[in-house]
Structure formats: C-alpha cells, structure tokens
Structure 1
C-alpha cells in the first residue's frame, strides 16, 4: 500500500477505553511506513504515553466543552495542522473528536475514518446519522457494534469489523507467577482473577458472589481483582458482607508486571464489557495462556470460543461458581484451553493483522472519496 500521512485523534485523557488500542494502532501503522501523528487531551496520563511512544502531541485542546469559541479554536488548529502536514487520513476514536475532525475537513480533500470502540458510540437520531454518513470509513471493533451501525443505514461497504489486537510476545515465556503470588499472599491454592476498572457493569460483584458460593467445593479459592476505580468501596463492602475478607485481594493497577500477574492465575474471569469493547483484557489473558471464563455478552462472545479457548456463561453467580469449580478441578483441561487461547491470539488478534485491515479501510475510503483511483495497486 502507498505510504499515507495519518492523524489519529482521541478526546481521551486516561489510559482507558479507546486510548490503548488507538495508540497501539498508531505505532503499528508507523512501523508499516506511514507518517503518523497523534492528538489527545493535553496534560494527563495519555499525553505521557503518547510522548513515550515517540509521537509529539498535536497542539490542540480536545476538551469536551459547550463553549463554541473553544470548539471553533480546535477546529481551526486541526484544519491548519492538516494543511501544513499534508494529512490524508484523519482517524477519530471518540464522538467529540469525530465532530471536530469532520468540521476541520469540511470543504477540503481528506479521508475521515471513525472507530466505534463501544456500542454507546453509535447513537440514533438524525444528527448521528448525518455525521456517520459523511464519514468515508467506519470501523467497528465487534460484530455487535456493526449491527448497531446498520441501523444508521450507511452506504454498503462503509462499515468494517476490525477486532482488537494484542502483542502476544509480551506474554511469551510463560512468565513465572510465584513472585506475584508471594507478594499478594495468595499461597499455592487455586487463584482466579479479573483485570478491569472497578466500576459498575464489569461483573466484579458477580465474581465475588460466585466465589462465596464456590467456597464449599474450593475452600482455598482466592480471587484477585486487578484495577482501580470508583466502584472499589462498594466491592470492599460486599467482600466483607460475604465473609470473604481473607479470600479476595484488591491488587490495584498493574502495568509493567501484568504478564506475571496473569501467570499467577489459574483462570481468568471477565463478566462484562467496559468502555472499550474489543475485550483487550481477555486477549491478554489468552495470550498469557490462561483459560477464560467470560460472560456471553457483547464482543466477549466473539472473542472466546466456547469449550475451546474458555467458557462462555450467563453472568449469574451460581452459573459462574459451577464453571469455576469445573475448570479448577481439571488442571490438564484448563491448560489445553489456555494453550488454544494463545494460538487463537497469535492467529487472529495480532497488531499486524489489525493494521493491515485498517490500511484496507483507508484505501477503500480513499477510492470512495475519489482521492485514489479505483484499482490503483498502490492503495
């Protein structure tokens, strides 16, 4: 494919939701020879990650605001940057930056692409329909999001499903989980865990209740909750109320040693999708060779192959408890599930595959906008 000048824009400040996959994609596209720029909200966590990745952040604010003069200033800055750098593709990842990019590109050549990272990104109504219909390429990170986009009646071929990705080499080894087990006081018994922000809707409460039910069959069971968030006090109260104070460990945020944390688990559990529906946490667990028990909801059901790389269950405490007991009772079967999960990640969910799929979206969008000639092999 011809080398393109691409600007990624995400009105995000935290290392959550679309931030990680957007930056990973930008790196992959740069590695494939494209000139890539990145714009994010300044002065917070994401800016530091962007700089560390070698992308000087674009001089825009991207702050969500109802003040029209600030929005107009961002549109002017983006428009000037697009012209000065000869940007050919503007790739938006949030609704706010989608609008800014559309306004900045108005009346000039350029390809506008949007990734919908969550179903909430797709709103009904005439305004949302107007914006998406003027977007040359739309990427959905799951088939469920693509189905929601179908309600906007976009032109045929406008929407492409491009699943998430993870660098499996981060989890090669396998790493040794003994250090983390010792640090967290987990002992040698069965350990299950979840990596997700501690917020409502992620299923932490279901997992804790399932652990309480499973204690009779798994008396030494420990549960590790990795992450932080405003839901922690309520979860801590639930743990105390169920008498699980000595069984549930709140491990906080883990970054550099995530591979070791996953290696310390006998089974990974995720019972709800979050702000980024490509289920990165599950992909990382699969890359680490962990068997997965996941809710049969959203993209989780598209990622985990039931009975082959893990198990899909109803997010109900009794159902989850039964499945955990079965998985932990057969370590050989659990190991086979984990190995199959890693093979699936290496075959289907690689950064290279995702970057190639996104390049194809850019190429089709360019042809659609008349910027690339049909059949041009350079795109």
Structure 2
C-alpha cells in the first residue's frame, strides 16, 4: 500500500484505508504500508497489525525518490500487488513499478479526483494513471460516473463503498451515558458528527435550531468534531440566541463515537457543494454510521450521498443550501416517533446487510487477486 492517508491523521479516507488494511491482515494477508510522516505516529505504527514504513516528508508525491523506495519495498516483500490509497497523484507510479517489478497495481478513489476530471489537463493526467492500473475502485456511483471516462477503458472499474465495523456500530449501542455526560437528559437531540468545515452544513443546523425549539420544545443540538469553522459556529450560536442549546464536544475518541451517534434522535448533516464542485461529499460515511446504530438521518442531496441514504426509508435527502427544507425535514422526524423508529430499524438492517467491513474486505481481496500478475486489465 502506498498512501498519504493513514492514521493518526483523522478523516474518512484515513479510516477507510486503515480498516481495509486491518481486514486484509485479519484474513491472513501480509500488508506493508509506505506512507508519509505524521506527528505522534510512533504509537499507532507500533500497534498496527501491518508494517508501516514512513518517508521523512509530510506528503508523498510521485517523484523518482518515492518510486525507488516503492520498488525496493515491492522487491523486499515479494509483493503480489500494489495498492494505492488514492489514485491521484500517487498512482502515477504504477507504470514505473510494473515495468521494474512486473507487479500490477490497484488504486482507490475517494472523490478528490473529480476536480481534475473536470479540466482537460487533469483528464490527461488521470488517463495516464488509468492506463497503468489493473483496477480502480469507487466509493459511490456519482464518483464512478464522473471518473470512469477520465481514467479510460484500461483498468477494471469497480465499486468499493465505505463500511462500518459491525462490532462497534450496531443497533444495541447505548447513547444514554453520552446524554448524561453532556447534560442532555431526555431532551430531543439532533446530532451532527463531522469535521467543522463550511461544506458540512453545521451553520444551517444552528440557524434552524430556534425554529425546531418552537415546534418541538427543548430540542438540543450536539456538534461532534473539531475543525477551522468551530469559532464561527460558536459565534453564530451566540448571535442566534441558542448557545445554551448547542453542545460542542470537540474531537471525540473513535471508540466513543458510536455512543455519540446513538445519543441522537436524529442525525443531520446538510452537506453542500462549494467552490464550483471542488468540495463535495463523495459518499458520507457518517450517514451509514448513524444508520447502523438505528438513528434516522437528514442529509444534503449532493455528490455520492444518495448511495449512503435510502430516501424515505433510512432518512431524508434535502437541498443543504435550503434552510427551510433542512428545518422541515428534521422537525418532521423529531415530531413523529413511529416514523423515526421505522427509519432507524430500516437503516440498521440495511447496514447489517450491505455495509460491514468484513464484507468489504472480501470484495477487495477478490479485486487484488484479479490484479496480481502485473498487467492492466
């Protein structure tokens, strides 16, 4: 595996890469990860079930030096296949590795490549990458629709959406301790778990809160996570007169996240597109995490989110830029207990059937076996 995206850095891509590598190890495969440096990584690297080799740079690029190190690692490990944590730009090394070692490559995509696919120069770069890959994977149908034409016909194009750990995220998770810890009690609670950045839509939730409290008295909002937008969100809550009804938890340890999802009556993240589509939700793993613990969701209808939320069955999709629509969707769930329960049950069942990491790992193993041998598909 060659990647810039791995813990202890926090994020959906890092989680995706780590979970699949752990799954491969659990299945008996040997995994060695070539990655970039990160602060305080020693503890994680020692505990990981796979070997981590870090370069002394915060960002790996497809340079001759990185290529040499990757080739040496492939040769030392007698690797059967190379896996890139993200196709752009590091999978640009795939052709060199194949020519030097005879080993083929597979690359993940996560939606970050969409911006490149929308420019002629970027499309040319993606086509060169695709020409040297055995397979590419996509987290959502939206990503595949945009990226497959750009990468071209050489590799196999396959779906590999995110998943959840069924031992951690399941309908038996109890959120009562979290409610007690943050002083929520039995009040109606809307939860949002995400990095605090503008496109996630936490500002819209704050703008809706006063209206929710008029319709459903004592409604509270819990914002879980941290990020550069936190100060602006706290000021917004104060200026809207709802600061006492908003709880900012900051970053929460990963083993406590399931209970924070389960504490909510509704999970809401009205994500939206920014910068002309350069920032957009390619899937939204938080939606299936909420669904897995039995909480219905309200989500922005953007990018790959419809692959993570079954409209009208596990949640409600809305225009994340439409404050009135977001507010109405959340109130509609808060005020209707039977509907919430039905959606929660449907979401948990769907995740049990379709979104477990063991299932996703086996799908990846099939892809990797097909790619072993060295030539593009």
TM-score band w.r.t. shorter chain: 0.7 to 0.9
* Map of 2:368 onto structure 1: 362
Distance in 2, matches of 1:160 and 1:186, equals 43
Q: Is 1:141 the counterpart of 2:139 in the alignment?
A: yes
Deviation at 1:47, TM superposition (A): 5.9
SS at match of 2:3: strand
Cα distance change, pair 137–122 in 1 and its aligned pair in 2 (3 A): farther
Cα distance change, pair 96–370 in 1 and its aligned pair in 2 (3 A): closer
Whether the aligned pair in 2 keeps the contact of 1:196 and 1:226 (CA below 8 Å) is yes
In structure 2, stretches of 5+ residues that fail to align are 273-278
Cα distance change, pair 290–173 in 1 and its aligned pair in 2 (3 A): closer
Q: Is 1:29 the counterpart of 2:24 in the alignment?
A: yes
Whether the aligned pair in 2 keeps the contact of 1:92 and 1:114 (CA below 8 Å) is yes
Alignment of 1:338-353 (within 5 A): 338-353=344-359
Match of 1:246 among 244, 260, 263: 244
Cα distance change, pair 8–76 in 1 and its aligned pair in 2 (3 A): closer
Distance in 2, matches of 1:51 and 1:140, equals 30
Whether the aligned pair in 2 keeps the contact of 1:225 and 1:248 (CA below 8 Å) is yes
Alignment of 1:2-21 (within 5 A): 7-11=1-5, 14-21=9-16
Distance in 2, matches of 1:135 and 1:122, equals 20
Whether the aligned pair in 1 keeps the contact of 2:35 and 2:53 (CA below 8 Å) is yes
* Map of 1:333 onto structure 2: 339
Match of 1:289 among 285, 291, 294: 294
Match of 2:109 among 110, 116, 119: 116
Q: Is 1:87 the counterpart of 2:79 in the alignment?
A: yes
Distance in 1, matches of 2:97 and 2:68, equals 7
Cα distance change, pair 326–163 in 1 and its aligned pair in 2 (3 A): same
Moved more, 318-327 or 49-58: 49-58
Deviation at 1:98, TM superposition (A): 2.2
Deviation track 1:288-331 (CA, whole Å, cap 9, x = no partner) reads 11111111112221111111111111212111111111111111
**Structure 1 vs Structure 2 CA RMSD:** 2.5
Cα distance change, pair 344–261 in 1 and its aligned pair in 2 (3 A): same
Cα distance change, pair 370–129 in 1 and its aligned pair in 2 (3 A): closer
* Map of 1:177 onto structure 2: 175
Deviation at 1:191, TM superposition (A): 0.2
Whether the aligned pair in 1 keeps the contact of 2:130 and 2:155 (CA below 8 Å) is no
Moved more, 271-280 or 306-315: 271-280
Moved more, 196-205 or 87-96: 87-96
Whether the aligned pair in 1 keeps the contact of 2:37 and 2:56 (CA below 8 Å) is yes
Deviation track 1:110-133 (CA, whole Å, cap 9, x = no partner) reads 111110112435623322221122
TM-score, normalised by the number of residues in structure 2: 0.88
Alignment of 1:169-318 (within 5 A): 169-172=167-170, 174-255=172-253, 256-272=255-271, 277-315=282-320, 316-318=322-324
Whether the aligned pair in 1 keeps the contact of 2:134 and 2:371 (CA below 8 Å) is yes
Distance in 1, matches of 2:171 and 2:292, equals 11
Distance in 1, matches of 2:307 and 2:41, equals 28
Whether the aligned pair in 1 keeps the contact of 2:71 and 2:101 (CA below 8 Å) is no
Whether the aligned pair in 1 keeps the contact of 2:2 and 2:90 (CA below 8 Å) is no
Distance in 2, matches of 1:56 and 1:282, equals 31
Whether the aligned pair in 2 keeps the contact of 1:122 and 1:148 (CA below 8 Å) is no
Match of 2:330 among 324, 332, 357: 324
In structure 1, stretches of 5+ residues that fail to align are 1-6, 372-379
Moved more, 354-363 or 138-147: 354-363
SS at match of 2:127: helix
Match of 2:70 among 69, 72, 78: 78
Q: Is 1:97 the counterpart of 2:90 in the alignment?
A: yes
SS at match of 1:113: strand
Cα distance change, pair 140–194 in 1 and its aligned pair in 2 (3 A): same
Moved more, 120-129 or 216-225: 120-129
Deviation at 1:74, TM superposition (A): 2.5
Cα distance change, pair 108–34 in 1 and its aligned pair in 2 (3 A): same
* Map of 1:374 onto structure 2: none
Deviation at 1:43, TM superposition (A): 3.6
Whether the aligned pair in 2 keeps the contact of 1:294 and 1:300 (CA below 8 Å) is yes
Deviation at 1:103, TM superposition (A): 3.7
